Chain A
Amino acid sequence: MDEALLRALAPTVISVLVRRGADFAAAEDAVQDALVEAVRVWPEEPPRDPKGWLVTVAWRKFLDAARADASRRHREVRVEGEPVPGPGEAVDDTLQLYFLCAHPSLTPASAVALTLRAVGGLSTRQIARAYLVPEATMAQRISRAKRTVSGVRFNQPGDVATVLRVLYLVFNEGYSGDVDLSGEAIRLTRQLAARIRHEEVAGLLALMLLHHARRTARTCPDGRLVPLAEQDRALWDTRLIAEGVDVLQAALARDRLGEFQAQAAIAALHADAQTAEETDWVQIVEWYDELVHLTDSPVARLNRAVAVGEADGPRAGLAALAELDPDLPRYTAVAAYLHERDGDPVTAARLYAEAARSAPSLPERDHLTRQAARLNSAAHRG
């Protein structure tokens, strides 16, 4: 059974239930139950009409829950029998679901969890495993998020930017546990891009595809990080790169630049270089200038300093770095790299060791420690 296909139906089925009069929270629960039943039943008895099957089962689950709820509260059963068909689908309901799950009243963690469940059709257990928290904690987070958006009308226009932030966060979480969050983020962004013509949606999709293309090359089998310049470019997924470049070019042609398109353009220039030496750093610096202009982000400025170091030499890179706040995450690692390129291995080794001490993740710490060790042992031998 194709679980991704099953999960792709989840938002549509939720929308159908909501149009029939179910509130969002109850509809979402009912669809989750129906998905669980589908996973159990479909391998033996594959349905002819998967969507119809899910709607029927989810609606039955909803009615059961509503009846149980009603009798618990000793009041009349509000919903009975077969539903009256709702009004026609004036707006794209799946799109509305994206907006609802990324509603600005939600914290980023809640919006991520709700999106993965309601739009992505993942189970609470899968989401909990992916984020390494107990299942009960994730269940609470999701039910609180549903309460938060319970007053939001389903057909209100939403903000694409908040949806993109949520999808970006999911993508960056990468692969942990048994759920490939990067792959899931791509699936959800692809589905979104098919429903809305928006340059930055396309920009984010292109960015994800271009980075995902490098995934195999980014780490050794033992988990060691491989810097971009040292990656085996034969391992890059050319099909994903081609798709990312196509999506990006179509977006750029609309001439409404945004931060995701700019980031994707940088990734595309890296993808375009057959070897690290062939990288067009001058153009990359220009794109970082655009990115800094668009976002004024300190992270973009830091990355720009690295690019300047490649385009105009390490001294120029260090000069660009000197304008930034030394407390920025990864500032010291960048300084170490530029000093090494500038032919000062002693300073570089000291800075790599310092950067290792403040590294935010173990793979980065191990990588920076190795860099320091490499320079120190070379100095020792020489």
Chain B
Amino acid sequence: MAKYLLLKHYRGAPTAVNDVPMDKWTPEEVSAHIQYMGDFATRLEGTGEFVDGQALSPEGTFVRYDGEGRPPVTDGPFAETKDLIAGWMVIDVDSYERALELAGELSAAPGAGGKPIHEWLEVRPFMAEPPTITE
């Protein structure tokens, strides 16, 4: 088994095929989308492949150390940040191919007009534990 992070971006991913902001969908389309995402997570729990899923608020702040005895420096939020993460799902699957397959299914979530969004998701492998048997 190997863990993968499926990353969803507010900004920074290539443009989706069906790229309409959610508030321009019909309420029924919004509901269908939310239902699809919920069902997807439930199904992965059922197959024993779900680890975690979280959504992030769009406002972020950059912070760095500014020396002994000084408060940390903050910067942002930046309206123009090129890359902005919206949320993630962590899955634990048998193969890279399975991770791609699931990301593809998640990207097929229905959007405007009830058609799949074809949203671009980023698939990132977790760093694994070093092997116990090395010879």
Using an 8 Å CB-CB cutoff, how does the interface string of B56-73 with A read, 1 for contact, 0 for none? 011100000000000000
A370, B30: Cβ atoms closer than 8 Å: yes
Closest chain B residue, CB of each to CB of A354: B23
B17 sits at the interface (CB 8 A):
no
Number of interface residues of A (CB under 8 A): 21
Q: A357-B58, A373-B29 are in contact. Are A352 and B23 (CB under 8 A)?
A: yes
Tell me the bound Cα distance from A338 to B22 in angstroms: 22
Which A residues lie within 8 Å of B55 (CB)?
362, 365
* B41-81 with Cβ < 8 A to chain A: 55, 57-59
A369 sits at the interface (CB 8 A):
yes
Closest chain A residue, CB of each to CB of B29: A373
Which B residues lie within 8 Å of A357 (CB)?
58
Using an 8 Å CB-CB cutoff, how does the interface string of A267-281 with B read, 1 for contact, 0 for none? 000000000000000
Residue from the list B26, B27, B31, B57 in contact with A358, Cβ < 8 A = B57
Which A residues lie within 8 Å of B25 (CB)?
373, 377
B59, A358: Cβ atoms closer than 8 Å: yes
Tell me the bound Cα distance from A377 to B26 in angstroms: 6
Using an 8 Å CB-CB cutoff, how does the interface string of A7-24 with B read, 1 for contact, 0 for none? 000000000000000000
A125 sits at the interface (CB 8 A):
no
Give min CB distance, A32 to chain B, whole Å.
28
Q: A352-B23, A376-B24 are in contact. Are A369 and B57 (CB under 8 A)?
A: no
B23, A376: Cβ atoms closer than 8 Å: yes
Interface Cβ pair total, 8 Å cutoff: 43
Closest chain B residue, CB of each to CB of A220: B31
* A313-348 with Cβ < 8 A to chain B: none
Residue from the list B31, B35, B58 in contact with A370, Cβ < 8 A = B31
B27, A377: Cβ atoms closer than 8 Å: yes
* B26-41 with Cβ < 8 A to chain A: 26-27, 29-31, 34-35, 38
Which B residues lie within 8 Å of A356 (CB)?
22-23
Which B residues lie within 8 Å of A365 (CB)?
55
Give min CB distance, A137 to chain B, whole Å.
15
Interface residues, chain B, with chain A CB atoms under 8 Å away: 21-27, 29-31, 34-35, 38, 55, 57-59
A224-B31, A358-B57, A373-B23 known, 8 other contacts, Cβ within 8 Å:
A349-B23, A358-B58, A360-B57, A366-B30, A366-B34, A372-B23, A373-B30, A374-B27
Interface residues, chain A, with chain B CB atoms under 8 Å away: 222-224, 349, 352-353, 356-360, 362, 365-366, 369-370, 372-374, 376-377
- 28 example contacts (A-B, Cβ-Cβ < 8 A) are as follows A222-B34, A222-B38, A223-B38, A224-B31, A349-B23, A353-B21, A356-B22, A356-B23, A357-B58, A358-B57, A358-B59, A359-B57, A360-B57, A362-B55, A366-B34, A369-B22, A369-B23, A369-B30, A370-B31, A372-B23, A373-B23, A373-B24, A373-B25, A373-B29, A376-B23, A376-B24, A377-B25, A377-B26
